């Protein structure tokens, strides 16, 4: 496919549904070959079918990002096949439980922090050399307002997003004069399975679908992007597609 991202290699985590699937489809629609990473094989296949039906191309990688060694293996495979990575989208996340901090089980805390924070550090650690091999490497990580606006009972999710924001901004500062840029995006309230778990009584029909926020990722993915270390919030008043 021809487009603003023609010939680019993009890796999207949490790509089997929701925002990850929508972003993967949008990047593919702009010409990128998309590497789809998620645990759910059936969901990955559905996204792959949709991308191919629209004329795009994708590679499926069934992977639990909390299996950190497999992230290293993925980076090695990408290097062997492509020699670079143009776009990294760190989208996969887990909420855990809506509970006072003192009531959260250690295992539940560890699982959320492992996926939302540590897995993204592991991605930065092994994908950074591949991003530097690209003409204009772009890293985009998905955050949330609770990462910088404290709220009761968000516990591990809020702490992990706060850590993610500081980590990505630190990484951005370390990029210096390289051609790589790293930013965060806050999609806002969106109709996703994750949000439904947090707010089970909410009327999801009143929320914008994931496809409506996918377009906001493109300006951070293109070589012309000059942002670095920014947190870009998708305003409900601005065009989302």
pLDDT single digits (tens) 100-147: 999 999 999 999 999 999 999 999 999 999 999 999 999 999 998 888
Average pLDDT over residues 68-97: 96
Domains for the chain: give ranges and CATH numbers: 9-233 (3.40.50.720)
**Other C-beta atoms lying within 10 Å of the C-beta of residue 99:** 15
- SS3 of 31, please? coil
* pLDDT value of position 1: 46
Between CA 167 and CA 14 the distance in angstroms is: 19
pLDDT-above-70 percentage for the chain: 88
**Residue carrying the six token digits 């778990």:** 197
* pLDDT value of position 148: 84
**Does residue 171 have an active-site annotation?**
no
* pLDDT value of position 238: 42
Q: Is residue 68's pLDDT more than 60?
A: yes
Between CA 127 and CA 197 the distance in angstroms is: 31
Q: Is residue 191's pLDDT more than 50?
A: yes
Find the distance separating the first CA and the last CA of the chain, reported in whole Å.
19
Q: Is residue 237's pLDDT more than 50?
A: no
For 37, the enclosing helix (H) or strand (E) is strand 33-38
- SS3 of 106, please? helix
Confidence of residue 186 (pLDDT cuts 50, 70, 90): very high
Phi/psi for 180 (5° steps) reads -90, 145
Between CA 65 and CA 14 the distance in angstroms is: 9
* pLDDT value of position 239: 36
For residues 52 and 37, is the Cβ–Cβ distance under 8 A?
Answer: no
Tokens (6 digits) for 88: 């990294």
Between CA 241 and CA 222 the distance in angstroms is: 16
* pLDDT value of position 96: 86
Q: One of 79, 82, 153, 157 is an active-site residue; which one?
A: 157
**Residue carrying the six token digits 């929320």:** 207
Cα 99 to the center of its chain, rounded Å: 25
């Amino acid at each position: 496919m021809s487009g603003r991202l023609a010939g680019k290699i993009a890796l999207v985590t949490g790509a089997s549904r929701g925002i990850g699937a929508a972003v993967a489809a949008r990047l593919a629609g702009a010409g990128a070959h998309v590497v789809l990473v998620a645990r759910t094989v059936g969901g990955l296949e559905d996204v792959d079918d949709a991308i191919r039906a629209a004329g795009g191309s994708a590679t499926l990688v069934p992977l639990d990002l909390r299996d950190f060694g497999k992230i290293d293996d993925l980076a090695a495979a990408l290097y062997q096949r492509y020699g670079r990575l143009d776009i990294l989208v760190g989208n996969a996340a887990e909420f855990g439980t809506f509970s006072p901090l003192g009531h959260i089980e250690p295992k539940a805390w560890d699982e959320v922090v492992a996926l939302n924070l540590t897995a993204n550090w592991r991605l930065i650690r092994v994908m950074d050399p591949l991003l530097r091999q690209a003409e204009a490497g772009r890293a985009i990580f998905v955050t949330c307002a609770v990462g910088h606006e404290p709220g009761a009972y968000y516990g591990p999710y809020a702490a992990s997003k706060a850590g993610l924001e500081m980590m990505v901004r630190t990484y951005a500062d370390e990029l210096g004069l390289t051609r790589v840029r790293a930013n965060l995006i806050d999609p806002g309230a969106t109709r996703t399975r994750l949000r439904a778990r947090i707010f089970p009584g909410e009327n999801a029909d009143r929320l914008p679908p994931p496809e409506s926020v996918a377009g906001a990722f493109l300006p951070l993915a293109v070589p012309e992007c000059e942002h670095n270390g920014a947190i870009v919030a998708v305003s409900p008043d601005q065009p989302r597609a």
